[in-house]
Amino acid sequence: MKQILTGIYKNHRTEWYDIEAIPTGLKWHLKGRFGKFINSFQPGKVAEGDFAQKVLLRSRRDDTRVEAVSLQFRTHRSLCISSQVGCAFQCAFCATGRVGLKRQLDADEISDQVLYFLQKGQKVDGISFMGMGEPLANPRLFDALRVLTAPELYGISARRLNVSTVGVIPGILKLTEEFPQVNLAFSLHSPFSEERNQLVPLNRMYSFQQIFEVLDNRIKRTGRRVWICYLLLQGVNDTVEHARALVHLLKQRPVETRYLYHVNLLPYNVGRAVPDHFIRAEQTVIEPFQQVLQQNSISCSYRNSFGHGIDAACGQLFAEYEDVSATKKAPLVRPTSKVLSATPLREREAQPSPALTG
């Protein structure tokens, strides 16, 4: 068994026949049970540019598609991987939300996106769950985190993993309980409730005021920084008044945890099928906004985006699906997912999916 695990997770073999340390009969058995290839995805179109590489991955099981991105920074390489096929939450500015939710990814499918880039010989320094889908709305995310951090499997440090959420409170609580060292980013995008309702509809269920109370407790318990993601949209949420309201919101945090909040100001990336009234904020607007934060001792930075030119930046992943906003929407069907087997041979018997968290 150890030889199989080593062949998959340490040597990054692509086919069962590539694992030298196991007998031929076992290779035949594995091929018959799982197919010729180890990875659950078949790679498709690859696009490169802006220090990013985006790959379209097709499920060998049902031909559904997701996209994953490899980002080459000056000092390291980070992956942006998907947790769902599409997304149910339909944030106003996000192309993935226009796809709708098709199904959950299982734990193998989530981690196999990482395996794909490792099989291509890339050295992976960090992994962000910021691709297609809301990570904390997929219960299988936690199985995937266990696979990625297990020493006998991928062996990636929890501190090199980043989970992004629009505010699924039960998922945040579970992440804090089970993976306190995994980094968390909360997508806020507006300090005004009614406006955030329009940008992030989940705010009607879990208000950002409730979410910040949960984040305060997470910081107090873990001592770990929380990133507040704020997408700057020209003429929408980029005014000095917004900046001052954001300062007020963060100044309300308990003094013992306040300093561990960091605001990431993000450029807007025009996405496919997204309303064209959303525009990237200009530098003349960004600088005054950031100055308000800095003058009030709010830790912040402006993060430039990679992969914008190949539709690989935040909010642009679409995986070549049709624009559901241009067609009649089918009723939302609860997706199916696959439960990670306790055996190391990557069993994949289908199980009914738990209800979406939130």
Residues that are catalytic: 67, 314
Q: Which of 242, 97, 127, 240 is nearest to 228 (CA)?
A: 242
49: enclosing H helix or E strand: strand 41-49
Identity of the residue numbered 115: L
Distance CA 203, CA 169 (A): 11
What end-to-end distance do the CA atoms of the chain give, in Å?
A: 38
Question: Distance of CA 107 to CAs 100, 119, 188, 301, 333, Å?
Answer: 20, 18, 27, 33, 20
User: How many residues can be counted in the chain?
Assistant: 358
What does the alpha-carbon distance between residue 264 and residue 184 come to, in Å, rounded to a whole number? 12
CA distance 319 to 132: 9
